[in-house]
């Protein structure tokens, strides 16, 4: 590596050259990164209190703590369900408080930060906004943990530099999430880039998680993909779960129902890879 490149890398706040120890994120009773794994579970979109409470109850039963659910939804078509907005965030907080869980939800614009901060523990920046630099700067000025997803066609360098925008503003509570990239392959919704996991772990000190649902888009291979992610060094997994996937208002084909989730969770625990 040239001296200039080496120097450039060591200047990056996300880099292991800058900080060698793993960043560990503590949110209430949850610990993300370090020696423990985290499973983030919940529906693609928050649709109703009853829907979310059913998933929350399954999480609680499994001893899990982080509930996901979208309220501001980045949909490909403007005619598709756009999420419940603030009403969805209120439902999340209400359900999370009832079951003693912490919450993760996407924000798409700096104007949503103040509202979302009242209800949500982790701000998710979705794949489509990975290079929304104003949004990255704005969440960098908050004290909320940020879950940053890899862009649809982002290189790992671009992904790391997107995280750098957040750290550079003073917020070092950042998690990186591989969620599949666009390739020519059509058998999966995206291509899960397993190599991203050890590379990001090697290059950065941030927790690295894998969204097996959006990266594959199919329920039948979630368990092997989750196991592969953990074997590659991931600190956690995200999976979408809905009480009645066929009636879901978004991503109906890829969400697990409660029974399927329980089978998935058992499979992960029995693999000895999850701890």
Binding-site ranges for ligand PEP (CB under 6 A):
44, 70, 74, 106, 126-128, 149, 179, 211, 214
Instruction: Provide the binding-site residues for Mn ion, judged by CB under 5 A.
Output: 44, 251
Q: Which residue is nearest to ligand PEP (CB)?
A: 126
CB of 234 to ligand PEP, least distance (A): 15
Q: Which residue is nearest to Mn ion (CB)?
A: 44
Question: Of the two residues 47 and 211, which places its CB atom closer to ligand PEP in the complex?
Answer: 211
CB atoms within 10 A of CB 48: 15
Q: Which of ligand PEP, Mn ion, none lies near 47, with the C-beta cut-off 5 to 8 A by kind?
A: none
Is the distance from CB of 211 to CB of 180 less than 8 angstroms? yes
CB of 43 to ligand PEP, least distance (A): 9
Calpha distance 210→166 (Å, rounded): 20
Question: Of the two residues 23 and 250, which places its CB atom closer to ligand PEP in the complex?
Answer: 250
Alpha carbon 246 to chain centroid, angstroms: 23
CB of 76 to ligand PEP, least distance (A): 10
Q: Which of ligand PEP, Mn ion, none lies near 219, with the C-beta cut-off 5 to 8 A by kind?
A: none
Q: Are strands 208-211 and 174-178 parallel, antiparallel or unpaired?
A: parallel
Q: Which of ligand PEP, Mn ion, none lies near 127, with the C-beta cut-off 5 to 8 A by kind?
A: ligand PEP
Question: Of the two residues 121 and 251, which places its CB atom closer to Mn ion in the complex?
Answer: 251
**Sign (positive/negative) of CA torsion 156, 157, 159, 160?**
positive
Calpha distance 184→207 (Å, rounded): 29
CB of 225 to ligand PEP, least distance (A): 15
Helix or strand or coil: residue 81? coil
**Sign (positive/negative) of CA torsion 189, 228, 28, 64?**
positive
E runs forming strands in the chain: 25-27, 30-32, 38-42, 66-68, 102-106, 122-125, 146-149, 174-178, 208-211, 236-240
Question: Of the two residues 164 and 251, which places its CB atom closer to Mn ion in the complex?
Answer: 251
Q: Which of Mn ion, ligand PEP, none lies near 126, with the C-beta cut-off 5 to 8 A by kind?
A: ligand PEP
**Sign (positive/negative) of CA torsion 130, 49, 212, 80?**
negative
CB of 226 to ligand PEP, least distance (A): 15
Q: Which of ligand PEP, Mn ion, none lies near 175, with the C-beta cut-off 5 to 8 A by kind?
A: none
């Amino acid at each position: 590596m040239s001296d200039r490149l080496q120097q450039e890398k060591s200047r990056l706040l996300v880099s292991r050259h800058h900080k060698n120890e793993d960043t560990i994120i503590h949110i209430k009773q949850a610990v993300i990164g370090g020696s423990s794994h985290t499973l983030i579970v919940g529906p693609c979109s928050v649709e109703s209190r009853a829907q979310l409470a059913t998933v929350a109850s399954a999480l609680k039963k499994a001893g899990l703590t982080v509930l996901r659910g979208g309220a501001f939804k980045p949909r490909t078509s403007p005619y598709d369900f756009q999420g419940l907005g603030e009403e969805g965030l209120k439902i999340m907080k209400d359900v999370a408080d009832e079951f003693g869980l912490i919450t993760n939800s996407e924000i798409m614009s700096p104007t949503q930060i103040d509202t979302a901060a009242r209800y949500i523990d982790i701000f998710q920046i979705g794949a489509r906004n990975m290079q929304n630099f104003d949004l990255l700067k704005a969440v960098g000025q908050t004290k909320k943990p940020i879950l940053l997803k890899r862009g649809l066609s982002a290189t790992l360098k671009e992904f790391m530099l997107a995280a750098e925008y957040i750290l550079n503003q003073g917020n070092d509570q950042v998690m990186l999430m591989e969620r599949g990239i666009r390739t020519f392959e059509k058998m999966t919704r995206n291509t899960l880039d397993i190599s991203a996991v050890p590379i990001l772990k090697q290059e950065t000190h941030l927790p690295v998680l894998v969204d097996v649902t959006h990266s594959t888009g199919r329920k039948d291979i979630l368990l092997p993909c989750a196991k592969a992610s953990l074997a590659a060094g991931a600190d956690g997994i995200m999976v979408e779960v809905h009480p009645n996937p066929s009636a879901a208002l978004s991503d109906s084909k890829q969400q697990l129902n409660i029974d399927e989730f329980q089978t998935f969770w058992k499979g992960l625990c029995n693999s000895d890879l999850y701890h």
